[in-house]
């Protein structure tokens, strides 16, 4: 290995050298993550019409993942009760903040599940007003701007009635099970 003014050369098999920029490597090692999805990801050049969002939970998942605000990593928060699953991909809009101190939540309608930590382009079509533990915690309802099945929707009223009922029921079930969990915990821990 040779040092060339901040760059290191490593001899690989044969006569070729792989050049590593030491400044880049050392700057990456000082941070807990390469880029924080909440603070470092741009909201997007087309915002507010089309915006970036980071998916925390894939469509069909019973696992509730959540952004760890310190590290920027996605962590398991809990597994949902009964057979409740996320009806669509769920995440947040970077560089935003809601009254609860978290980034603004978004449910993104699209055909396929997306892996946690992936970001995509979305368009808001509606809002689901919600209160969580006494604080406003509204959910943006959006469509993936790059999904041919959903990108044509511009208003939540255009969705088929069953799809709208499915979304509403999901949030009602989540609230119900969260309240049951809080009440059960309170009753047994006195």
Which residues are identified as catalytic?
A: 86
Phi then psi for residue 64, to 5 deg, are -95, 110
Instruction: Compute the C-alpha angle 124/126/130, nearest 5°.
Output: 120
Spatial CB neighbours of 109, under 8 Å, sequence gap ≥ 6: 88, 141, 142, 143, 144, 147, 150, 153, 159, 163
DSSP-derived 3-state class of residue 97:
coil
**In this structure, what token pair is assigned to residue 8?**
């290191």
* Burial (CB count within 10 angstroms: exposed 0-12, middle 13-18, buried 19+), residue 182: exposed
C-alpha 149/C-alpha 143 separation (Å) is 9
Evaluate whether 92 touches 67 at the Cβ level (below 8 Å): yes
Evaluate whether 122 touches 142 at the Cβ level (below 8 Å): yes
């Amino acid at each position: 290995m040779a040092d060339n003014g901040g760059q290191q050369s490593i001899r690989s098999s044969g006569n070729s050298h792989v050049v590593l920029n030491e400044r880049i490597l050392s700057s990456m090692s000082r941070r807990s993550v390469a880029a924080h999805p909440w603070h470092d990801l741009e909201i997007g050049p087309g915002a507010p019409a089309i915006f970036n969002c980071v998916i925390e939970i894939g469509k069909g998942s019973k696992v509730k993942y959540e952004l760890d605000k310190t590290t920027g990593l996605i962590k398991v928060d809990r597994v949902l009760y009964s057979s409740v699953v996320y009806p669509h991909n769920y995440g947040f809009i970077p560089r935003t903040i809601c009254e609860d101190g978290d980034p603004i939540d978004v449910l993104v309608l699209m055909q396929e599940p997306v892996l946690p930590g992936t970001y995509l382009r979305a368009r808001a079509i509606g809002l689901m007003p919600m209160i969580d533990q006494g604080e406003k915690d509204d959910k943006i309802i959006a469509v993936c701007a790059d999904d041919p099945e959903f990108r044509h929707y511009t208003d939540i009223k255009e969705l088929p009635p069953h799809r709208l009922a499915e979304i509403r029921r999901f949030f009602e079930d989540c609230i119900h099970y969260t309240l049951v969990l809080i009440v059960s915990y309170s009753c047994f821990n006195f």
